[in-house]
Amino acid sequence: MEFCIEFCKKHKIDIFIPKYCLQTISKYRERFEILGVKILIACSHDVMELVDNKISFYEKCKQLSSIVLPLYFKVNSLEDFKQGVSFFQNTNIVACYKPSVLEGGLEFKIISNENDYLHITIKGALEEMEKKYNNRGIMLMEFLDGDEVSIDCLALNGKLIVVIPRRKIGWKRILENNTTLLKIAEEITKELNMSYVFNIQVIYKNGVPMLLELNPRMSGGLKGSCASGVNFLYLAIQLLLDRGCS
């Protein structure tokens, strides 16, 4: 962090747009602002901590009327994991798991009869729990295999300005005008007082969009939404500089 601060000071940086270590950078926002550096971060440090923990984020979103969550269990021990797996087995629901604090899909596994980079057997999962996750929070949840929709958002102080959902079907990306997804984005944006540019991901099950996660940063596929004619980054910077956006 000291390197970033000194770099901005030395090179007279006006705007800092981070992608990684957002929680740490948000904690030191004031030190950048003292130097006159504006940081494009979508939420406060407290919200960043909340969103960074998948369990905490889900618990928060339970309060929102438009949000549907997949079945999930908070796992803090091997016994918790066994009980959760037993539930999914008894209800014939495919389960998956990942650390509750993690960016991206690393360490994500689907429990099945196979063993490969994405799948793992119950026996293998139990062994992994004992070896790797003994002191780490795990989210055990139902596996969602429907269409994934990535919702790119532009907002200011909890008010949504632009929302563009991108449905992912194989290699295709289809931009949608969907009032259900708009409502989801509006509620999350307001509840967490989001600003600038960020991304919400949902996956469909039986025609219902289920919340997957919130990324408090630009999405990797943002260029697809920019094809709509909305220049998200430019408009986010305009908002950051108090120039408004039209």
Q: Tell me: the pLDDT tens digits for 38-71?
A: 999 999 999 999 999 999 999 999 999 999 999 9
Widest Cα–Cα separation across the chain: 61
User: Is the confidence at residue 130, as pLDDT, over 90?
Assistant: no
Tell me what the mean pLDDT of segment 220-231 comes to: 92
| Helix, strand and coil in the chain, % to nearest 5 | 35, 25, 35
Mean pLDDT, range 139-153, rounded to an integer: 95
pLDDT in tens, 169-203: 888 899 999 999 999 999 999 999 999 999 999 99
Answer whether residue 104 shows pLDDT above 60.
Answer: no
Q: How large is the average pLDDT for residues 120-130?
A: 91
Q: Is 199 left (phi over 0), alpha (psi -120 to 50) or beta?
A: beta
The model carries a pTM of 0.92
pLDDT of residue 161: 97
Tell me the pLDDT of the chain averaged across its residues: 93
| Neighbouring residues of 189: CB distance < 8 A, sequence distance ≥ 6 | 153, 155, 158, 159, 160
